[in-house]
Structure 1
Amino acid sequence: MPTPVRITSSHWVLIVALLAAALACYLLVAPYMNSIVMAFILSLLIFPIHQWFDNHLPKHRNISSLLSCVTLTVIIVMPLLLVFGAIVQQGTVFAQNMYQWGSQGGIQELLAHPWVKSGLAFVNHYLPFETIEPKEIAQRVGEFATTTGSTLVSFSAKLLGDATNFILHFFLMLFVLFFLLRDHDKIIRSLRHILPLSRSQEDRLLDQIEKVSKSAVMGSFLTAIAQGLAGGFGMWLAGFPGLFWGTIMGFASFIPVVGTALVWIPATIYLLLTGQFGWATFLLIWSVAVVGSIDNLLRPFLMQGSAGMNTLLIFFSLLGGIQLFGLIGLIYGPLIFAITIVLFNLYEEEFQQFLDKQDNS
């Protein structure tokens, strides 16, 4: 039997000082925490590739880590640059077409549609606010169309700023990733040594963190890519800029409950109002049957490694993660839930005799 450690006052002083120092360190790195977490998760995803480099260059760990980072950059950055250029081009053309449509009487023609007239009559009859006149709507849309150019310029500037910010964080993440890959074994050994758990408990905890990190990334981002591709293909067939709206649908898929419906419902209504009933029916069926089924089938399948969490827990972990952390919460939420579940399981095993005694008392 190992001799139990007696906690003295000096130990408590050391623990408090250590916690204070750890908090200070966290505050120092907090602005860069997302880059650090993403580097950690990407190190898990790219580790098989890094291991291949490591096996072929066993005495050159720096070179193998550098090659792994370069490989990741080629896989992620190069396609993103191509897609980004195409999105900007299609988005600009779409904005110009919308401006021409609004300035050449398209809005008046749309407001003259019998369905639109019936809808406005219903709203004016039942809803308790001022009467909505078609002329006012046309005037507002005309003002919006007039300012479309300046809006597009400001949006492009913001997009450029976001892209610059993304590049800075990406290179910071690569810097962290390099050391995580190079010193992987040393980091794992240090974690095992510090954690006050048995080896089997450490294995379970680290294994679940790895599984959940992978499943969160695969479940969220691969689902978004798949829905963006399927949705963009359907929009392209229906006559819309496919790459632009497919990208928008990919981002919209991160929004719980509503998701890609934010894009395809207005698009379907537009097709109906412009008399394209066949394409409207196609887009509706395609979006519900194909794009919707991707979210219902692919996401749970890819996230099935989330520490045994059921669909309800996965849903709330995603919803709460987005609410608390933003887009990165799609990873943080499931990770926090899964670690909590594993810790509860370890607690149950560690205090099983006490809990059984309480149940029988």
Structure 2
Amino acid sequence: MEQGGFLLFLGLVTLALIVVIMPFLQPLLWAMLAAIMFQPLFRRFHERSGGRENQAAIATLLVITVAVILPALFIGSAIVDEAAGLIVAFQEGDINVAQWFAQVFGALPANVQASLNASGWGDLVALQERAQEFAQASLGLIARQAVSIGGSVFGFVLAFGIGLYVSFFLLRDGRKISAAVLHCLPFERPIADRLATGFTGIVRATIKGSVVVGLVQGALGTLTFWVVGIPSALLLGLVMAIASLLPAIGPAIVWGPAALYLLATGAIWQGVAVIVSGVALIGLADNILRPILVGRDTGIPDWLILITTLGGIALLGLSGIVVGPLVAGLFLAGWGILAEQRDRAPQP
């Protein structure tokens, strides 16, 4: 009873701690991810500073702030401005989706037009309503997120400060904290070590393979759209970065329709430039960068990565891009360890 009572106490106090830190769960999560990703940089600064941990952690935080946080805030504000401008343009009728569709529809072959008419996709009025509803809903989501952040500036600044503050200690004391956590886990030490290795490996592979590659593809798409003169290039680049999470088609669902519209409206060289960039640059970026950045297979099937990533985004927002595949990786690792133990167990 005493042992059971102590375990019950541990469970309750752990649950209470989770409830208390719940408002800052996402800043803590991103602080942990930053500490894992930039731990090699911290070690390099640590060696050059002669073993001064505080100075190495501060230098690493400065690099994170200058190279990651400030550009993200600047680009995010520009994307929000573009989204707000498009919402106003839709509401005031400056953007005529029906006219755009008519131009593209008229450039299609006659048999394709007949097939679209038979399936109901040739109704300009209905398509205009659907397209405008979808666009305003998508753009409105971005605008609402910006308003929610701006409406609670104190909360945003507080969460941002907590994230940086915790990152400092996780960078400086990460090894000690991880060793203490592994020692306290109610697992056999070899199992805990394997799970910890899988945890860090999946985090790094997910961020490098999904986030970094998506950002590169989005940046290439933004540059392409800016060169050919397509408006709201940053916003389309963001959509392309998110679409890169989808296997096979990925960013093509963004640059493909853009190229089709340019060709249908007579902008031949612009449309060809978008196609060439989409195939030769954006499309190959994933095949070239992912093996270099990830380095090895995470052991998670592509279809499971897609489902868990989309499910994680639906539950946690941007944090779900990492949390979803992380849960899938730990799930597969845990069941794999159980299967190995069962195979090694003596048969009756």
TM-score, normalization by structure 1: 0.74
Structure 1 Cα separation of the partners of residues 9 and 97 of structure 2: 69
TM-superposed deviation, 1:42: 0.9
Partner of residue 159, structure 1:
146
Give the counterpart of 1:208 among 198, 201, 205: 198
Structural mapping, 1:73-92, within 5 Å? 73-84=65-76, 87=79
Cα distance change, pair 199–264 in 1 and its aligned pair in 2 (3 A): same
Partner of residue 249, structure 1:
240
TM-superposed deviation, 1:277: 3.2
Partner of residue 49, structure 1:
41
Partner of residue 276, structure 1:
267
Structure 2 Cα separation of the partners of residues 305 and 12 of structure 1: 43
Partner of residue 8, structure 2:
16
One-letter identity of the residue aligned with 1:27: V
One-letter identity of the residue aligned with 1:195: L
TM-superposed deviation, 1:174: 0.9
Does the Cα contact within 8 Å between 1:307 and 1:342 map onto a contact in 2? no
Structural mapping, 1:122-271, within 5 Å? 125-127=118-120, 132=123, 158-159=145-146, 161-162=148-149, 164=153, 167-241=157-231, 242-254=233-245, 259-271=250-262
Partner of residue 340, structure 1:
331
Partner SS for 1:275: coil
TM-superposed deviation, 1:222: 0.8
One-letter identity of the residue aligned with 1:263: V
Supply the RMSD in Å over aligned alpha carbons: 4.1
Partner of residue 21, structure 2:
29
Partner SS for 1:284: helix
Does the Cα contact within 8 Å between 1:300 and 1:311 map onto a contact in 2? no
Partner of residue 311, structure 1:
302
Cα distance change, pair 276–345 in 1 and its aligned pair in 2 (3 A): same
Structural mapping, 1:56-135, within 5 Å? 56-57=48-49, 61-84=53-76, 87=79, 102=94, 111=102, 114-115=106-107, 125-127=118-120, 132=123
Partner of residue 4, structure 1:
none
Does the Cα contact within 8 Å between 1:101 and 1:107 map onto a contact in 2? no
CA deviation digits over 1:40-75, x for unaligned, max 9?
111011112222343455675444333322231122
Partner SS for 1:327: helix
TM-superposed deviation, 1:116: 7.8
Structure 1 Cα separation of the partners of residues 210 and 142 of structure 2: 26
Does the Cα contact within 8 Å between 1:43 and 1:177 map onto a contact in 2? yes
CA deviation digits over 1:235-282, x for unaligned, max 9?
233222444533342233345666423422331232133112343233
TM-score, normalization by structure 2: 0.76
**Higher mean C-alpha displacement, 312-321 vs 334-343:** 312-321
Partner SS for 1:223: helix
Structural mapping, 1:284-303, within 5 Å? 284-296=275-287, 298-299=289-290, 302-303=293-294
TM-superposed deviation, 1:333: 1.9
Structure 2 Cα separation of the partners of residues 91 and 325 of structure 1: 22
Structure 2 Cα separation of the partners of residues 138 and 325 of structure 1: 32
TM-superposed deviation, 1:292: 2.7
Structure 2 Cα separation of the partners of residues 140 and 19 of structure 1: 53
Structure 2 Cα separation of the partners of residues 258 and 350 of structure 1: 40
One-letter identity of the residue aligned with 2:41: I
One-letter identity of the residue aligned with 2:202: V
Partner SS for 2:25: helix
Structure 2 Cα separation of the partners of residues 311 and 238 of structure 1: 33
TM-superposed deviation, 1:107: 6.3
One-letter identity of the residue aligned with 1:21: V
Identity %: 26
Structure 2 Cα separation of the partners of residues 250 and 56 of structure 1: 36
TM-superposed deviation, 1:156: 5.7
TM-superposed deviation, 1:215: 0.8
One-letter identity of the residue aligned with 1:50: F
Cα distance change, pair 287–139 in 1 and its aligned pair in 2 (3 A): closer
Does the Cα contact within 8 Å between 2:218 and 2:240 map onto a contact in 1? yes
Does the Cα contact within 8 Å between 1:69 and 1:174 map onto a contact in 2? yes
| Runs of 5+ consecutive residues of structure 2 not aligned to the other structure | none
One-letter identity of the residue aligned with 1:237: V
Cα distance change, pair 33–108 in 1 and its aligned pair in 2 (3 A): closer
